[in-house]
């Protein structure tokens, strides 16, 4: 049917609807481009230059910044420390969040109270809470070391020992993430039909652990994938606790990738290498998100 054959009122209504759609979409699209797409594009362009903060002259150097990073021990140390942190935090935060959700889900009294209390770390300012954790784990006056000494063990310098600083930061990260993961797992548990548990009881599957492994955990697979990916992305973005507690020390043992980018760009004013590190960081985050989408798409296709 040609446009000329469509009645004029209908054509006018279609154009009005299209105009309404664009008028609603353009402000959001403009903000998306200005606040997200444009800054990322500028960072990518800057990574191919020799720009330094405050310098009005710069030139394009191609992939020299990326080639330099390949041989930069500080960059690889920051990336390695970040990966170590992610490998410590993600399993702990996912397992603890799942455990909290399972324990609270079937409570008949105090369920909302426990959820609010466990969710409080998510609403707290991480910088302020990091200061509290620094006191708790202090090598001489911290309650944790006081308890260890009371039990007969030697006190530990959590933030002063290169072998203990990343596990100590990981404990803070797990504490900060577990409450949010608990809320997501609780939503997943609420979506599981009770008929499955009733049918399992008829088949003789009465033990709580059997019901958890055979029904609950498989039904929570999509939620688990989502929680794992979001926890991984959050863990990769560790910066606040390092900047407040350790500043990359001791001996660079907690010098994570974002803190390395911060020092390179805003302390040493070498913006181009910092931009190259940022591009690599964004590629890692993008890869994690794509893995999540691939896993979820395969699961939907198999159902």
Query: Which residues make Cβ contacts (< 8 Å) with residue 11, sequence separation at least 6?
Result: 3
Closest CA to 210 of 230, 189, 196, 224: 196
For 24-41, write each residue's pLDDT tens digit: 888 888 888 888 889 889
What is the rounded distance in angstroms from the CA atom of residue 24 to the CA atom of residue 93?
Answer: 39
Q: Which residue, among 77, 55, 13, has the nearest Cα to 269 in the 3D structure?
A: 55
| 185 pLDDT more than 90 | yes
SS3 49: strand
For residue 1, the model assigns a pLDDT of 47
Domain boundaries, the chain: 3-46, 64-302
pLDDT value at position 259?
Answer: 93
How far apart are the C-alpha atoms of 13 and 5, rounded to whole Å? 15
Q: Which of 69, 89, 92 is nearest to 79 (CA)?
A: 69
pTM of the entire structure? 0.85
Rounded to an integer, the average pLDDT of 110-116 is: 80
Q: Tens of pLDDT along 50-71?
A: 888 777 788 888 899 999 999 8
**CATH H superfamily, domain 64-302:** MetI-like (1.10.3720.10)
Q: For position 14, what pLDDT does the model report?
A: 60
């Amino acid at each position: 049917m040609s446009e000329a054959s469509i009645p004029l009122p209908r054509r006018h209504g279609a154009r009005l609807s299209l105009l309404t759609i664009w008028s609603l979409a353009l402000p959001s699209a403009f903000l998306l481009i200005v606040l997200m797409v444009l800054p990322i594009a500028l960072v990518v362009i800057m990574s191919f230059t020799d720009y330094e903060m405050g310098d009005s002259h710069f030139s394009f150097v191609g992939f020299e910044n990326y080639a330099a990073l390949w041989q930069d021990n500080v960059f690889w140390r920051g990336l390695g420390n970040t990966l170590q942190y992610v490998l410590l935090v993600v399993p702990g935060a996912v397992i603890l969040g799942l455990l909290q959700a399972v324990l609270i889900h079937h409570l008949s009294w105090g369920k909302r109270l426990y959820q609010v209390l466990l969710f409080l770390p998510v609403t707290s300012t991480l910088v302020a809470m990091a200061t509290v954790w620094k006191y708790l784990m202090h090598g001489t006056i911290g309650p944790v070391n006081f308890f260890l000494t009371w039990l007969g063990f030697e006190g530990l310098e959590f933030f002063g020992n290169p072998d203990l600083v990343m596990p100590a930061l990981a404990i803070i990260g797990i504490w900060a993430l577990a409450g949010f993961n608990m809320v997501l797992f609780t939503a997943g548990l609420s979506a599981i039909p009770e008929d499955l548990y009733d049918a399992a009881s008829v088949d003789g599957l009465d033990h709580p652990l059997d019901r958890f492994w055979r029904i609950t955990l498989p039904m929570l697979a999509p939620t688990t994938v989502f929680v794992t990916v979001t926890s991984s992305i959050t863990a990769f973005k560790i910066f606040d606790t390092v900047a407040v507690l350790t500043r990359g020390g001791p001996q660079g043992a907690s010098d994570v990738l974002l803190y390395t980018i911060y020092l390179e760009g805003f302390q040493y004013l070498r913006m181009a290498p910092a931009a190259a590190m940022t591009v690599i960081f964004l590629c890692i985050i993008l890869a994690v998100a794509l893995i999540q989408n691939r896993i979820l798409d395969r699961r939907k296709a198999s159902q």
